[in-house]
Amino acid sequence: MSTATLIAPPDAAEPALLPILIAPHAALKAKARTVRSADADTVRALLPRLFATMYQAPGIGLAAPQVGVPLRLAVVDLQPDDTRAPIALINPQVVAASEELATREEGCLSLPGQYADVTRPARVKVRFEDETGARREIEADGLLAACLQHEIDHLDGVLFVDHLSALKRNMILRRLAKELRQKAK
């Protein structure tokens, strides 16, 4: 199936939701390719659907590979004070990270119901393009820093469980597989 077919919205007024891939789907481990100017129409069609899917899940971040689109594109919205504050990240990259680390509990829409403490740089500076093509930078700490790093990891085929010991990672993946089997019954 082509990417254009996958993301063509049936109704522009209400963006259609996208199916979120669940680990261990192979697409979640693949590195996404750089968004190019030729991808502009694809990105324009995909962004509202990514946001709609993330809000419906509900989540605070979603990367294109999580919906089977192998592009370096992610959306984030921490919804501070229950107010939407969407950020579209095209070709994001961490350009600076603090030596100080912070540990936070993380979850993922591609590993539903699974959570673990992940240690990452406490502060990051991320360079990206926004939906208009403008180059931007954002400096973040706390939850936003963790979320940005988590979504950029997805673009590199890395899941939050890949930051854990093999024992913890395998326990979470086995638990997820068991829960999915029980739901399928």
Q: Tell me the catalytic residues.
A: 151
52, 15 contact by CB (below 8 A) = yes
76, 87 contact by CB (below 8 A) = yes
169, 161 contact by CB (below 8 A) = yes
Cross-strand bridge partners of residue 101: 121
Enter the tokens of residue 141: 């700490």
Residue 109's alpha-carbon distances to 38, 60, 63, 106, 159, in angstroms, are: 29, 9, 10, 10, 11
